[in-house]
Amino acid sequence: MSKHQENKGINQTELRAVLIGRRHSGKTSVINTILETSKTETEGSTDEHVKKECFIDGMKVSLVETPGLWKTFNLYDLSNISKQQLVRRISLISPGPHAVLIVIRADSAFTDTDGRFLEEYVELMGPDVWTHTLIIFTRGDLIKREDIEQHIREDGSALKRLTEKCENKYHVFNNLNHHARTQATELLIKIKGIVGRNNGKHFEIDLQQVKEVNEQWEEIQNRASLRKSRVEKQRSTVQEKAYVRRLEEIRVVLLGWVLTGKSSAGNTILNRDEFLIGGQTREGKRGFGDVDGRKMTVLDTPGWWKYFASELNPDFIRSAILECVSECKKFPHAMLLVIPADTSFQEEQKRITEQNMEILGHDVWRHTIVLFTWGDRFKDISIEQHIESEGEALQWLIEKCRNRYHVFDNTDKKNRDQVSELLQKIDEMAAENSLFRLKTQKNCDEKSCQKTDKQENPIMEIRLNDIRHSLNEGFRRNAEEITKKIVKLCKDIMEECLSLDESSSLSCDLNFKNKSLEEMIIPPQKDNIPEPVKLLLEREFSRWESIIIDGVQESLQDIKSSFELTQAEKRQMSVDVVERWLQNYNHYVQHTIHKIQAPESGTRRKRLKK
């Protein structure tokens, strides 16, 4: 393409761009730099604040910031409301953006999971979007430019694939550069180049899709308002019928799939770091404290797999849940079913959640409150709007729990009002019901088992007997891949702040710490995992990978920047961090593999052959 063609469209009077990226990736800073504003609105705030406009050299520049993405796994895990918000935000820049700017922190790990998700997420706008895209690397001052370019050129890397999707268009922002105007000017020139290569055309927004989403949003708002009113009326009715006495002591059990924020929720309730984040959860752990002048007991339990049927749960999960409840001197007042507020909850989660909750008997639902964690991720979205937008499965769960739900912002532990309100809801539930009593069927009664078999489940459709080897192979492979990525991440972050001898020692320590896992892994001979099983494995393990990498990276950056620690202490703490974050993951994998390999009981074999 000639330079004349590439620069075509430079003299246009308006330039529109939309910014996409993870929360805290620097989208707001990029906008402020381009527009030379000093305002620091929070990323992902309301629609009225996400569109910014100004005139630069006589040209009107319009920028729209899309909602910040959090821990990104795959589109299956993304809530419906997140997808709707993307469409609604982009529609603010009608008739369409000239450029789509993907914002990525240069100093953060960028994994295959991140790459796959971003590709799928961006393509929600439409398959032709890539000719309009450009990657912006923020915090370029924290990493050498040659290192960024090396990552981009690295064969097989997720960053290289994404950059190639964007036709190798990228720009590096140095956040400490005092010549910010120069950086912004260079970026605007590159955006004009995109316009020129597209013959002055902008990306066409699907107006029919926008119309449908706006109509859905209006309906969601109405239903959310009705739900909120109904719940408030229900609570006031309880308070009118009987004097709701404050319980002098409250006992709660935290339940849910693994990595939902149960431990964080427990810490928020007790207002201290009682439960270790990212640590091993092999058995239930109790925490005690005084909350609002009342004695509080919180029992944290191991989570179940999110995507796998309860049959594949390691045995220690069921045992720990039952022991937590049955070994209490007094039964709990409430079960808190913990679910991330920004994640999808569809039929498969409904089925799997029902299977796992009924370990405690059918009566458990009368004593359950759904506790949504990570409620800070949508400042402008109410939890009722999320419930109504997500669909029938989540609405079924809320109704099953008699419209009892609550939201926590685990990042704001100083907000004690959210805890006081939860205790008030527990008081109200206790006033309606007698204390929870553990009533379980022996293992799983025939009626319940038949019900499970009839429900749709890819694992059961293929028959567990026939896919033992495939599951075994898949678990081993994913364990190996995640371990390698975490160890590499640790070396990449820490080696530059350690001496050559200490870096070598770090490598040896990391390899030693993970020796038991490596011995467990037998490299697969060929990829013979059936597609439905492969999809479930990918969805389950991408969650683990993303959360573990985020946790390790955050901890290592804190260690690296500490001026109080010696080099030897930094090295040892780095090894401990990697070990701690991998322990729980490896424990789940090993015990699931053992369960898959173990001979089946006659009852289960009979059931699977039906």
pTM for the full predicted model: 0.86
Alpha-carbon span 571 to 559, nearest angstrom: 9
pLDDT grade for 605, boundaries at 50, 70 and 90: very low
* pLDDT above 60 (res 38): no
For 281-333, the pLDDT digits (tens) are 677 899 999 999 999 999 999 999 998 888 889 899 999 998 888 766 678 89
Mean pLDDT for the chain?
A: 82
Neighbours of 30 (CB within 10 A): 25
Average pLDDT value for residue range 546-567 = 86
Average pLDDT value for residue range 555-575 = 87
pLDDT grade for 18, boundaries at 50, 70 and 90: very high
* pLDDT above 90 (res 13): no
Evaluate whether 572 touches 498 at the Cβ level (below 8 Å).
Answer: no
What does the pLDDT read at residue 178? 55
Average pLDDT value for residue range 399-404 = 95
**Percentage of residues of the chain with pLDDT beyond 70:** 80
Radius of gyration for the alpha carbons in the chain, expressed in angstroms and rounded: 26
* pLDDT above 80 (res 506): no
* pLDDT above 70 (res 482): yes
**Which of 171, 159, 79, 90 is CA-nearest to residue 123?**
90
pLDDT grade for 104, boundaries at 50, 70 and 90: very high
Alpha-carbon span 105 to 122, nearest angstrom: 17
Residue with tokens 């669909």: 391
| HEC sequence for 91-110 | HHHCCCCCEEEEEEECCCCC
Q: Which of 90-94, 325-329, 372-376 has the lowest mean pLDDT?
A: 325-329
What does the pLDDT read at residue 323? 86
**CA angle at residue 377 from 376 to 379, to 5 degrees?**
70
For 547-557, the pLDDT digits (tens) are 888 888 888 88
* pLDDT above 50 (res 474): yes
* pLDDT above 70 (res 378): yes
For 417-453, the pLDDT digits (tens) are 999 999 999 999 988 876 666 665 544 444 444 444 4
**Which of 520, 495, 516, 501 is CA-nearest to residue 579?**
516
Question: Strand locations in 279-398, DSSP E?
Answer: 285-291, 294-300, 334-340, 368-373
Query: Dihedral (C-alpha) 552, 549, 458, 601: value to the nearest 10 degrees?
Result: -30
For 119-159, the pLDDT digits (tens) are 999 999 988 899 999 999 998 887 777 888 888 888 788 99
The answer for residues whose C-beta is within 8 angstroms of residue 480's C-beta and 6 or more apart is 517, 518, 521, 523
Neighbours of 431 (CB within 10 A): 15
Backbone angles phi, psi at 79, to 5 degrees: -65, 155
Three-class secondary structure of residue 67 per DSSP: coil
pLDDT grade for 462, boundaries at 50, 70 and 90: low
pLDDT grade for 4, boundaries at 50, 70 and 90: very low
Cα separations in angstroms, 475 against 142, 299, 408, 597: 36, 29, 33, 12
Tokens of 393: 């499965």
